[in-house]
Amino acid sequence: MFEHRVLGVDPGLSRCGIAILDGPGHRATVVDSEVVRTPADMALGGRLHAIHARLRALVTAHRPASMAVERVFINAQARTGTGAMQVVGLVHLLAADADLPVAEYTPSQVKAAVTGVGDADKDQVTFMVQRLLTLDVAPTPADRADAMAVGLCHLQQPGFGRRRRSGGQGRAGDQATTTGMSSRLAEALAAAGPGLTAVDPARPRPTPSKGTGQ
Task: Report phi then psi at 35, rounded to 5.
Answer: -125, 125
Q: Where are the alpha helices (DSSP H) in 35-104?
A: 44-62, 78-97
**DSSP run (H or E) holding 21:** strand 15-23
Q: Which of 22, 143, 146, 174 is catalytic?
A: 143
Taking the CA of residue 213 as centre, how many other CA atoms within 13 Å lie in the half-sphere pointing to its CB?
Answer: 0
Vertex 102: Cα angle to 27 and 134 (nearest 5): 20
CA distances from 36 to 60, 108, 164, 213 (A): 17, 24, 34, 38
Q: Which of 3, 34, 41, 70 is catalytic?
A: 70
104 flagged as catalytic: no
Give me the sign of the Cα torsion angle 37, 10, 107, 77: positive
- Cα–Cα dist 89/105, whole Å: 14
- Cα–Cα dist 150/129, whole Å: 10
Q: Which of 10, 104, 146, 174 is catalytic?
A: 10
143 flagged as catalytic: yes
Catalytic positions:
10, 70, 143
